[in-house]
Structures are given as structure tokens and as C-alpha cells.
Amino acid sequence: MELPVIQYTGEDTGRKVQLAEAVFGIEPNDHTIYLDVKHILANRRQGTHKAKERAEIAGSTRKIKKQKGTGTARAGSIKSPLFKGGGRVFGPRPKDYGFKLNKKVKRLARKSALSYKARGSHITVLEHFSFDAPKTKYYLQMLHSLGFADQKTLIILSSPDKNIVLAGRNLQQTKVATADQINTYDLLNANRLLISESALASITQNLSA
């Protein structure tokens, strides 16, 4: 598949690039996409939820009433879960939700996501660009020039560009990443992938290994 190379101002450069079939033209594997997205979202969970149980409640250990003769159930501690202010039964504890996923599965999931985007014509290749200053208005002008101002976009660069990152970080519907940082969730979450020429070569090299 061939795609035209476009300047960030929206003008056509007259050049075209060939998307590698081994990365952008495979038969997508939906199960690996599911596993990788699940893996990414699980690793993002903090897992810091905690409720105090009976042994952790501050309170007296005195027996609060006599064992027999009250006409009610036995009660041995004010920290019992049956009383207001008592400990919780089987409350949540800190937990790590992350799990291991093989590198080959992750690689296949990313190639599957890129193939879906290529099939849907949701990939735009940009000529190398940069901003003179880290201003959000430059970033917005670029999106308006390309016609993607109202779409969720992911810009993929070959290396970090401070001005571009700072210019776009205040915008909710856009994200900037480098070729070695992309993941399946971000690829599928974006409506439009804006990939620089050099980043395209890096992605092809990394995922073809």
C-alpha cells in the first residue's frame, strides 16, 4: 500500500511511501489485541484499595457485655464487623493486577492494530516537522490544516521533540508518542494516526524483527 507524504501544513509533497506488508498488511489477530489491551489496562491500575479489618481497628478489647442472660447474641469485642465502626469482613487489600505477556504476542497485537488502521485509511504520513516554540496554537493550526481538529489523533515521532510534546499536552483528544513507545491501546484508541516518515521506518524495523 502506498501513501502520500504530506507536510504538517496540509500541502502535498508529491512523494509517496510504501507501507510494509509484514507490518501494515497482515491478517489481524483479534485475540492478541484483546490480550495486549487487557495487559496494558491492568498494568495501569493502582491497586492501592484498602479497608481496615477487625485486627486493624483501634478500639478496646474489653468484653462489652456478659456472655449470658441478656437475651441477645454473644458479643466479645467492639471491633466486631457486626457493630458500627467495626472492621470490615474480607475487605479489599492492595493488589498488583499486572500479568506477564510474551513479546511476540505484543508485537503481533501492534501489527494487527496497525493493519486495521491501514485498512480503514486512518494513517497519514507526515514529512519531518518541528515547531519554533512550544505553543498550543501551532499544534491546533496543524490539526486544522490537516482536517483532523475534531478527531482523536495520535502523532508518532521517531524521537522526542520537546516543542511538539509541550504544545499538545493540554489538548484532550491528541497524544504524542515516539516509535518505540507505541502500544496497541493507544493505536486503537485514536481515530487518526499521524506518523512521521522517519518514525514509519523505525516502526517497520522494530516490528519486522
- The CATH number covering residue 10 comes to 3.40.1370.10
| Beta-strand pair 192-196/153-157 | parallel
Q: Are residues 128 and 191 in the same domain?
A: yes
Query: Distance between CA 11 and CA 112 in Å, rounded?
Result: 30
Q: Are residues 156 and 59 in the same domain?
A: no
Per-residue confidence in pLDDT tens, the chain, 209 aa:
888 999 998 888 888 899 999 999 999 999 999 999 999 999 999 999 999 999 999 988 899 999 999 999 999 899 999 999 999 999 999 999 999 999 999 999 999 999 999 999 999 999 998 999 999 999 999 999 999 988 999 999 999 889 999 999 999 999 999 999 999 999 999 999 999 999 999 999 999 86
Q: Are residues 88 and 168 in the same domain?
A: no
CA-nearest of 117, 204, 130 to 166 is: 130
What is the value of pTM for the model shown?
A: 0.83
The domain of 60 spans 47-96
Q: Are residues 109 and 132 in the same domain?
A: yes
Task: Please give the order of strands across the beta sheet that includes 174-178.
Answer: 12-18, 2-6, 123-126, 192-196, 153-157, 174-178
On whether the CB atoms of residues 161 and 129 are closer than 8 A, the answer is no
